Amino acid sequence: MKLLIVEDDTALSKSIADYLIIEGHLCEIAENLKQALFKTADNTYDCIILDIGLPDGSGFEVIRELKANRLTSGVLILSARNSLNDKLHGLNIGADDYLTKPFHLAELSARINSIYRRHNLEGQNEISFNEIRVNTEGKQAWVNNILLNLTRKEYELLVFFIINAKRIITKESIVEHLWGDEVILTDSFDFVYTHVKNLRKKIMTVGGKNYIKSIYGFGYKFSDD
């Protein structure tokens, strides 16, 4: 998952990011409202972990901007305030969940995963595409009931393809979603081709079909057409 942590407490945002990175997520940090609005305007995130008490404004403004621009990122509000009114207001304007500080990082992770399932997997822990089956909790994938030996990026790429099945996906969007802002400025995306080639080979080696279609000049399309 690609996550944005909007939190002005540097120590807390770092501890959250460190924990979630170990779990295999891609994390970016915004320390105030201005940075958060800038990042959400230019990037797509699976989930935004959002402190509503920011030094230059209310985190609620991030939710309003997401909804105004019809962006579909999940939102988990963090707040030191244990106020029912704040909770209800956040949920009413479009947040998915609410967690009061202090909290356990394991609970934060579980809630993020729950939001992701609701937004992308219809609430399920498993997704499938014909003979391909993926368990997002165990981060494993099977083809014809044969377990694939995938690297972390190959697994993430497969999930990204299945969720966006039958859509044309640019190489830039793949890089942004799986590697983040640091890599998007590179002149060559040859490493994307390498990951796609390896994933395709592993699927076909165990009898799966070649669903990953190269669309010249654009990117890829995961389709059984």
Predicted pLDDT of residue 101 = 86
CA distance 214 to 224: 13
Give domain limits for the chain. Answer: 2-119, 126-222
Predicted pLDDT of residue 100 = 86
Is the confidence at residue 166, as pLDDT, over 70? yes
Predicted pLDDT of residue 187 = 61
Is the confidence at residue 83, as pLDDT, over 80? no
Record the pTM.
Answer: 0.74
Q: Return the residue matching tokens 């802002």.
A: 181
Q: What is the average pLDDT score of the chain?
A: 89
Domain 126-222: which CATH number of 1.50.10.10, 3.40.309.10, 1.10.10.10, 2.160.10.10: 1.10.10.10
CATH superfamily membership of 2-119 = Response regulator (3.40.50.2300)
Q: Do domains 2-119 and 126-222 have the same CATH topology?
A: no
Is the confidence at residue 181, as pLDDT, over 90? no
Nearest C-alpha neighbor of 143 from the set 155, 118, 152, 153:
155
